[in-house]
Amino acid sequence: MSDIERQQRFWETKTLEEMDQGEWEALCDGCALCCLQKLEDADTGEVFYTQLVCYLLDQENCRCTDYENRSVRVPDCVKLTRESIPEFHWLPKSCAYRRLAEGRGLADWHPLVSGRAESVFEAGISVQGRVMPDNIVPEHDWEDHIIQWVER
Ligand code: SF4
Ligand code: SF4
């Protein structure tokens, strides 16, 4: 493997801890699964995903419409950091960060591998076309919107 190829496929040659900020950000496959609202069973700690997605998400292209200010506008917006790597097991099984943390590499449909952002949609991994904004459903009814299609 040449030096350039090695740099291009940084996710195979560096650990999560070794990646620079640009590489870390590029790992996100754009599925937006982590933008889904989740409910936790107070007794068992079990987490359930709902089909309700953060109201700031552009559901067509699965992008945050205010990424810069997301932490202010949505205080519980999840920010993945190197310090939180040991907790990545709560993420969807397909999430690039969890995959690398578990030594599973990136899937063929990951945009870094395919070279195309659309491949995550075509593989049926993203939330595209199967969610609704969380601000149109009262919080006490979120339980009615629990889903099973997010692989854990
Ligand atoms: S689940 Fe992982 S890969 Fe998907 S949008 Fe969230 S951080 Fe990115
Ligand atoms: S603020 Fe943006 S990144 Fe955070 S959950 Fe909402 S849509 Fe997703």
Q: Give a yes or no: residue 150 inside a domain.
A: no
Q: Give a yes or no: residue 75 inside a domain.
A: yes
Location of structure tokens 């920010």: 79
Q: Give a yes or no: residue 120 inside a domain.
A: yes
For the chain, the domain total comes to 1
Q: Give a yes or no: residue 99 inside a domain.
A: yes
> What's the pTM?
0.93
Residues with CB under 6 A from ligand 2: 35, 54, 56-57, 64, 70, 74, 77
Q: Which domain holds residue 117?
A: 3-145
Location of structure tokens 């409910």: 39
The protein residue with its alpha carbon nearest to ligand 1, atom 8, reads 28
Ligand 2 binding pocket mutation candidate from 52, 77, 78, 91 (most atoms within 8 A of CB): 77
Ligand 1 binding pocket mutation candidate from 11, 28, 113 (most atoms within 8 A of CB): 28
* Partners of 146 in beta bridges: 50
> Under a CB-based contact definition with an 8 Å cutoff, are residues 28 and 94 in contact?
no
pLDDT tens column, 49-104 = 999 999 999 999 999 999 999 999 999 999 999 999 988 888 999 999 999 999 99
Using CA atoms, how far residue 111 sits from 27, 79, 125, 137, in Å, is 9, 20, 12, 32
Considering only the C-alpha atoms of the chain, give the largest distance between any 2 of them, rounded to a whole number of Å.
56
